[in-house]
Structure 1
């Protein structure tokens, strides 16, 4: 089963040329791919840092790591390649525990999208087929989306749909789901959930450009994987791991992620933003020294040519920054 999964893991990297432009990898440098996935971006980075470069890849999806190991095998004799299992929300702890000493990088990449394999496999991320409502990035731990729906209150579910999915019909959808639960009919598959949303939202209110259940699925996936908290914590830790002059690139796929990246970059660049953009622990927010130079005034979007090749890249947006020299 695992072998077949690896063979099917075909990750088409989004905004690849733009990523290389901002990361500017050079021979012998040290890079971290905090969301290595199937190794699509890392493969090209490995080509540029050889010989004697170091590439650390991190992912919470064990099947993705297995695929990345095979993808990057051709460079293992020319570079030091280390693949680690875990989520980037614990980035610092994972690096220190595994490597045993503080590790810094010349470049760091976050690609926050769900891979084509994860969408196409029976993981519960997509409503295009009826499959178990799982949605966990790391299937070795945590509760599934189906379990989450059974656990949370109607009020909490409404908050999740409204906050994480920006779903205008959050209250009726949450009410409909709990009505099913009260009747002893738990929502256990993607088909059940998608059909329930379709029946709840009036046809005249369906979005034109996306499926009516898209926001609900996004909200539950974010909640199941604690994605926004993980992003803020992991991104703040990654910035601290950049060498002076080191570059960081983040590719996000919806406005909630992009807002966190934009505000944290601005905060680290010394701009005035609300404290909700700050890292979880801020010793003295009133006397901060800028540590980042922002390289992208606006998010970089995929070109028309890339969208023709890969329509799933349409919502991708890239932001980049450089670590300033130490004062």
Structure 2
């Protein structure tokens, strides 16, 4: 049974990020009998703190405690300026999706028994990251070619300047679904012979020069390539797959997993995950993630994914591709992650399988 929609509170402390599908996320995570202003029992983990939109709205709607997690140190630093007003109802923690069960356990809320009663995941890059030129996520603002959410490890510039033409083409095709991936990779390798590609503006210029000019209303020619590099730098799809499994391990029976995605690669993974954990293999999959007779690990909450309405799109055009899927945890024990049936691109699937093996060996 789904709960009645809850009006979102004015939750974000800054103007840099507008939380997407906020009312729908709150409604999915709320107890079925929640009354406005009443305390929600249990602990909810916000796996993507960002600018605090979901976290502050959850606390405002009655969540008794929220563990707010982010892999970006800048997000945690911003939150420290306002977290104190919530006292011990709010815990800030650094971490990735794939370790959210460990983060919850360290904060005293799981894995089960007595685990989490909700997990919210807002996949992808935040508006603050896109709008800050020095982070190097966007071609709209010239800056260093970085894209690292944790500000650690290899950057997008490292990939563009060091990988082979074939490896670059694989990234652009698999993570950006870029049909001209080989042409772009060839142009990047040729351009870097004259000097390293170090800025977002230079990268966008090279990509734009080898693709047709965008028509009015079409995205910039570099959009898919920037998406692909960002996903590769941060292992976003592998982290998503591991995060879904971690949420399954951490949620108590009756707890809710709510996931907001922003493009088809992410949404396909989440769709197939919930289908598999509901006890049915996704249509057309030659891999069977759930064997016959396996009990369901999640029960669907929404008959179809929620998407933004006209009012939200008018206020926040960046929400246009957002989709919310949600499921309620059953009492069946968590299953080991098998990424083969989730529709991950080959590059991400290899990493997810390696991560799953590591979990099994631990």
TM-score in terms of structure 2 length: 0.80
What is the rounded CA distance, in whole Å, between the counterparts of 1:129 and 1:240 in structure 2? 40
2:295 maps to which residue?
289
Aligned residues: 310
Equivalents in 2 of 1:212, 1:287: separation in Å?
Answer: 48
Q: Deviations over 1:116-155 (max 9, x none)?
A: 111111211110121000000011x211100111221111
Q: Does the CA contact (< 8 Å) of 1:9 and 1:64 recur in 2?
A: no
2:182 to 128, 149, 171: 171
- Contact kept in structure 2, 1:130 and 1:189, CA below 8 Å: yes
Q: Would the aligned equivalents of 1:36 and 1:59 in 2 still touch at CA under 8 Å? A: yes
Partner of 2:75: 64
Answer yes or no: is the 8 Å Cα contact 1:260–1:277 preserved in 2.
no
Q: Which residue of 2 aligns with 1:32?
A: 45
d(CA) in 2 for partners of 1:310, 1:208: 17
After superposition, residues 138-217 of structure 1 pair within 5 angstroms as 138-139=150-151, 141-181=152-192, 183-203=193-213, 208-217=217-226
Distance change >3 Å, CA 8–CA 75, structure 1 → 2: closer
Cα shift readout 1:241-294 (whole Å, capped 9, x = no counterpart): 11111111100101100010000111100012347685xxxxx84552111111
Counterpart residue number, 2:16? 10
- Check conservation: 2:104, 2:250, Cα contact below 8 A: no
Change (3 A) 1:31 1:113: same
1:245 matched to which residue of 2? 254
Question: What does the per-residue CA deviation read over 1:275-319, in whole Å, with 9 as the maximum and x for residues that have no partner?
Answer: 7685xxxxx845521111112232211110011111111111111
Residue 168 of structure 1, CA deviation: 0.9
Residue 129 of structure 2: aligned partner: 118
Alignment counterpart, residue 267 of structure 1, candidates 262, 276, 294:
276
Q: Is the 8 A contact 1:96 1:102 kept in 2?
A: yes
1:60-101 CA distance string (max 9 Å, x none) = 01111122233433222xx53211112112223333455496
Aligned to 1:304: 310
**Would the aligned equivalents of 1:57 and 1:82 in 2 still touch at CA under 8 Å?**
yes
How big is the shift at 1:11? 2.4
Q: 1:277 to 1:9 in 2, by over 3 A?
A: farther
For the residues of structure 2 that align with 1:208 and 1:196, how far apart are their CA atoms? 21
Question: Partners of 1:118 and 1:222 in 2: how far apart?
Answer: 14
- Measure how far apart 1:9 and its partner are: 6.7
Distance 1:7 1:49, change over 3 A: closer
Q: Which deviates more from structure 2 when the two are superposed, residues 87-96 or residues 234-243? A: 87-96
Counterparts of residues 35-54 of structure 1 (less than 5 Å): 35-49=48-62, 53-54=64-65
CA RMSD of aligned residues (A): 2.4
Which residue pairs with 2:340 in the alignment? none
Does the 8 Å CA contact 2:124/2:236 hold for their aligned counterparts? Answer: no
**Where in structure 1 are there 5+ consecutive unaligned residues?**
1-5, 279-283
Question: Does the 8 A contact of 1:176 with 1:196 survive in 2?
Answer: yes
Say if 1:131 and 1:191, in contact at 8 Å, map to a contact too.
yes
Match of 1:315 in 2: 321
TM-score normalized by the length of structure 1: 0.88
- The CA deviation string for residues 178-229 of structure 1, in whole angstroms up to 9 with x for no partner, is 1112x232211000010111101133x7694211100000000000000000
